[in-house]
Amino acid sequence: MDVPPETHMNLLQAPFVRDLETFTSTPAHFRRIGERSSWADANRAGMPVVDSTHSRRTFVKSVAGLSGLALGLGGCAAAPAPVVRGERLAVPYSHGSEAPAIPVPIGATDCHHHIFDPRFPRPNGRTGIWGTVDDYRQLQRRLGLSRSVIASPSSYGFDNRCLVDALDAFGGRCRGVAAVRLEDSDAELDRLHGHGVRGIRLYLIGDVPTPPTRFAAYADRIGRLGWHIQVVAVSDEALVAAEPAFSTLQCTLVIDHFGYVAQPGGIDRPSMKVLRRLLDKGNVYVKLSAPYISSKVGAPTYADVDPVATALVQAAPERMLWGSDWPHPLVTTDPRPDDAAMLDRLAIWAPDPNRRRQILVENPTRLYWAQ
């Protein structure tokens, strides 16, 4: 069952379907949500709830029918789950305009992107590309995505104002990973949590690196909130060196960008063996994101990353996440990465649609929307 693009956009825009309830409700429960929602308030706020061809009643009826299918709940397991096909659309900092060849399920999540807004200048005079909330909404349309996770970029340092502003703009269909200091107060962490932050991002190498032995202290600070630590290894050697500390970490650990497993021959590198051992512990997720960081083959396929990606999916499909890394701040020359082609690569790494659903919907739901 294909969801028309305009219906998918209405789902994203309607104020009463901004939270996860949209994707998990039974039809009867969703109808109650629709009936008790303030349609007038949405229109007064300038929210484009429906287009001119959809009445309020038609819209509520259509979404109610979709909601019970979205995660195979509500006694509808025998029916095909609805899928969204992206749109042909040119998007800033994304090569090409074709939609992905594969459809994605309702609730599909981009678990790694950034927002750079000129209203929030980078500190210390840093420069770089700008990729705004409105720009990213175009990418969601092109790829057919329903939810997303914003990762605070290193260029903003510990300034989370842009992140919080973007989270408020997207509403409950978006979560964030923030940059925090160990000495930040509980009140500050609580404030970030209220805006949708569900994790912190630490670097093993960079301007403000965190020694692996300090990760446990951060885990203690964020434990009460149920947050996770997202780690940027920056090099596969750094990941190997961090294994002893990560093996005893008590919180959930999310490893960016395939763990920076280097190519060629990534499948046999020590860093890949470390990733497999960490996955075996059960509290580690890996982001299948930014293959261009380690690929030597390069665009458009980044095919040398395929063996690593496939092996990771086979090892722990229940803890794999997919991310675009848009607007690709590490790629400074044209052509930019083709986000639709990179999403299509997931069909090679996870040929089974049910497994892709696990990666795109179920795993993000558990990690980012459980609290």
Which positions are catalytic? Answer: 325
Retrieve residue 255's tokens: 């490893």
- Amino acid in the structure at residue 240: V
DSSP-derived secondary structure for 248-316: T--S-EEE-GGGG--SSSGGGSHHHHHHHHHHHTSSEEEEEE-GGGT-SS-TTT-GGGHHHHHHHHHH-
Cβ neighbourhood burial of 217 (10 Å; 0-12, 13-18, 19+): exposed
Compute CA distances 148 → 69, 353, 364, whole Å: 21, 20, 9
Closest alpha carbon to 156 in 130, 195, 187, 185: 130
Closest alpha carbon to 199 in 179, 170, 224, 169: 179
Bridge partners (DSSP) listed for residue 116: 131
Name the residue with tokens 């509500």: 74
Cβ neighbourhood burial of 313 (10 Å; 0-12, 13-18, 19+): buried
Q: Is 325 helix (H, G, I), strand (E, B) or coil?
A: coil
Asked whether the beta carbons of 34 and 10 are under 8 A apart, the reply is no
Compute CA distances 83 → 145, 204, 284, 363, whole Å: 10, 38, 28, 17
Asked whether the beta carbons of 47 and 35 are under 8 A apart, the reply is no
Residue 131 carries which DSSP code? B
Compute CA distances 307 → 204, 279, 291, 344, whole Å: 25, 17, 12, 16
Task: Compute the distance between CA of residue 288 and CA of residue 354 in angstroms, rounded to an integer.
Answer: 17
